[in-house]
A and B are shown apart, each in its own frame.
Chain A
Amino acid sequence: MIKYALKRSFQSLGTLFIVVTVVFLLMRLMPEEGYFGSGFEKLDEVQKEAILKNMGLRDPLVIQLKNFYIRLVQFDFGTSTTYRPNVSVNEIIKDKIPYSLWLGLSSVFISMIVGIASGITMARNKNGFLDKLGTLYIVIINAVPAAVYYLFLQLYLTKFLNLPILFDVDRPISWILPIISMSLGSIAAYAMWMRRYMVDELNKDYIKLARAKGMKSKSIMTSHVMRNALVPMVQYFPASILMAIGGSLYIESLYSIPGMGGLLVDSIQRQDNALVQALVLIFSAISIFGLLMGDILMAMVDPRIKFGNSGGGR
């Protein structure tokens, strides 16, 4: 178990290293305007060169890369250029994380509970009315672009439920709509997978045996089907909790929530290279760590998983 966890952690570290390198190299392909502040047009060529040289962008690539790694190890993500000029990225992000975290976590818990519960209900009433209703919901949520239905939710729910349109920290009532919108997609995902795993489980031979033994179908459901169906679900939990820190790009920007996702959208629109690079790295690191935790958790919960089976297991 510990051997597996260590091996898997090293793998993740390697992945993180590759991602960091690739992102850095890709960002070097960017036009250089992104490194200057708003006064870009006023600068002449010599000044531009001087600024770029000062930032270390005229050094050979290997040295740039080395400096970049050293700074990363010290958790120094550089300074913002256009979003909030000359403010360090850490400073900017520090204020943003709590918003994303709290909204995201509430959405994760709501969608886990509602999603898994509705998945169980659907599997129990397979081919019944509730199952069909749930399937309809899943199809609509999966097929219609989120960017479209979020708009309609904002448009109509604010009117019918008399909720404020924009986010306001001091008014908890304005948190409801962003949380609902964020949860809809993951409710569908949890419900779909839970239903599928339970239906798969129901078709297995040991369930037939349990039935033949005369076990009550209620206890078959709770002690056999649900327990086994939850095992594959477990590996998604850490990733979705961690991704909450990243927040939902679209929702945060739509409701003007001052969180991390909205920050990425803002920094893209203002062409702030350093900030975009830092956020992309943070989102990737979160995702890598989340999947790592998921795999380890899965191995802890399910003793059937072979340890030391590198890759391909997921």
Chain B
Amino acid sequence: MKLKTHDRLVEHIADDLFEFANADTDNSEIAGYSNYSYWRSTVQVFLKNKTAVLFLGVIVILLLFTMIQPVLPNQKDPTFIHINPETFMQFRNVKPGTEFWFGTNAIGQDLWARIWSGTRTSLLIGFAVGLFEVVIGIIIGTLWGYVKKLDRIITEIYNVWNNIPTTVILILLTYIFRPSLSTLIFAMAITGWLSMARLVRNLVTIIRDREYNMASRCLGTPTYRILTKNMLPYLVSVIMLRVALAIPMAIGAEVFLTYIGLGLPVQIPSLGNLVNEGRVLMMSQSLRYQLFFPAIVISMITISFYVMGNAFADAADPKNHV
């Protein structure tokens, strides 16, 4: 009965009312294809942030300059004590001028050379700490998030570690192992990997059970391949942010540890040692330049890395891509 009504309806429709749609397979390819590229969008979003680009420029110039500064003409040795050839006295606390661009310190060393040498030391510490944090953080973080059996154990370790203030760990380690470059890097790396590992762990637990990973597992892909091919690409922005932020943190920690007497030995020029030398002379107006110059360079470096790192992390977040 129903069928008959339908047939009658069809009969009443004129043939020319409808026609076949001819699907063009080539055209549909074009429409369905998005030329979205993760890295291009990241760069585009980053370039829109003019302040961040400015600071990126500052960082590039600073890095280049600190690297090539020792080979430039007319540069002095950062640890050489300059002696006045006429009086055979050291050039103590000479004001900034044409001979000594940033002046000299209390024992006659060239402040300009010392600042750039100190910047090299501090940047070395920062990059080393950042690298260690990333390597340790990613290894532990992926294991933590991916291997369910390890989750409880590492969570317990994390809870213990996270309960102790970072400053206390830093102080304890540098106090016990005597201050040196490797001690500082070790102490800072061992306090820093924690937050990195947790970030990675959270990301990994989110991505772990997505469909494409389930498919990979069903097809018998080995775990290390899933980790490196399916997971790691998601972590690039986190890695960049941590490395960028490790530098201001390392510089700050170095200055602080030097102040409380656990920094690098005085013979090694570092930004912490320079600030500390400047602090001693701070109360005399005419010698204040010895605090100003290191402080300005430190602030320039830390602010640039901080702003740039955060802007990059924002840009690398696909949520902010159009």
Contact = CB atoms under 8 A, between A and B. Distances in A.
Interface of A: 11-12, 14-15, 18-19, 23, 26-27, 29-30, 139-140, 142-148, 151-152, 155, 243, 249-250, 253, 264-265, 268-269, 276, 280, 283-284, 287-288, 291, 311-312, 314
Contacts of B279: 151
Please list the 5 inter-chain residue pairs (A to B) with the smallest Cβ-Cβ separation, ordered nearest first: A145-B252, A143-B306, A147-B255, A311-B155, A143-B303
Contacts of B56: none
Contacts of B100: none
B180 interface: no
A284 B260 contact: no
B: contact size bracket? 35 or more
B255 A283 contact: no
Contacts of A268: 171, 175, 260-262
B156 interface: yes
A151 B295 contact: yes
Contact of B306 (A27, A142, A146, A314): A142
Interface string B164-199: 110110011101110000000000000000000000
B145 to A, nearest CB: 11
A182 B168 CA distance: 18
Interface string B246-260: 001001100110011
B44 interface: no
A264 B176 contact: no
A122 B303 CA distance: 21
Nearest to B309: A143
A291 B159 CA distance: 10
Contacts of A314: 162
Contacts of A152: 295
Contact of A145 (B160, B165, B298): B298
B262 A287 contact: no
Interface of B: 155-156, 158-160, 162-165, 167-168, 171-173, 175-177, 248, 251-252, 255-256, 259-262, 272, 275, 279, 282, 288, 291, 295, 298-299, 302-303, 305-307
Contacts of B171: 264, 268, 280
A190 to B, nearest CB: 18
Contacts of B288: 155
Contact of B282 (A19, A155, A243): A155
Nearest to B256: A147
A148 B260 contact: no
B165 A311 contact: no
A253 B256 CA distance: 12
Nearest to B177: A29
Contacts of A312: 155
Contacts of B291: 151
Nearest to B275: A148
B176 A27 contact: yes
Scoring A148, A249, A250, A291 by chain B CB atoms within 10 A of each residue's CB, the highest score goes to: A148
Given A144-B303, A283-B165, 7 more contacts: A29-B177, A144-B299, A151-B275, A250-B256, A265-B260, A280-B172, A291-B162
B148 to A, nearest CB: 13
Which secondary structure dominates chain B's binding surface? Answer: helix
A146 B172 contact: no
27 contacts: A15-B159, A15-B160, A15-B163, A23-B172, A26-B176, A30-B175, A30-B176, A140-B303, A142-B306, A143-B303, A144-B298, A144-B299, A145-B248, A145-B251, A145-B255, A146-B256, A147-B255, A151-B291, A155-B288, A250-B260, A268-B171, A269-B260, A280-B168, A287-B165, A288-B163, A311-B156, A311-B159
A203 B258 CA distance: 44
A27 B173 CA distance: 10
A19 B167 contact: no
B168 A143 contact: no
Contacts of B252: 145-147
A245 B302 CA distance: 30
B48 to A, nearest CB: 15
Nearest to A145: B252
Nearest to A246: B165
A177 B251 CA distance: 25
Contacts of A147: 252, 255-256, 259, 272, 275
A248 B177 CA distance: 24
Nearest to A283: B168
B181 to A, nearest CB: 18
Nearest to B157: A18
A143 B307 contact: yes
B298 A148 contact: yes
Contacts of B168: 280, 283-284, 287
B192 to A, nearest CB: 16
B136 to A, nearest CB: 18
A173 B165 CA distance: 31
A306 B243 CA distance: 35
A312 B295 CA distance: 39
B250 to A, nearest CB: 10
A106 to B, nearest CB: 21
Nearest to A140: B303
Contacts of A139: 303, 306-307
B308 to A, nearest CB: 10
Contacts of A142: 248, 306
Nearest to B292: A152
B183 to A, nearest CB: 12
Contacts of B156: 311
A314 B198 CA distance: 11
Nearest to B151: A312
A276 B303 CA distance: 33
A227 B131 CA distance: 40
Contacts of A243: 165
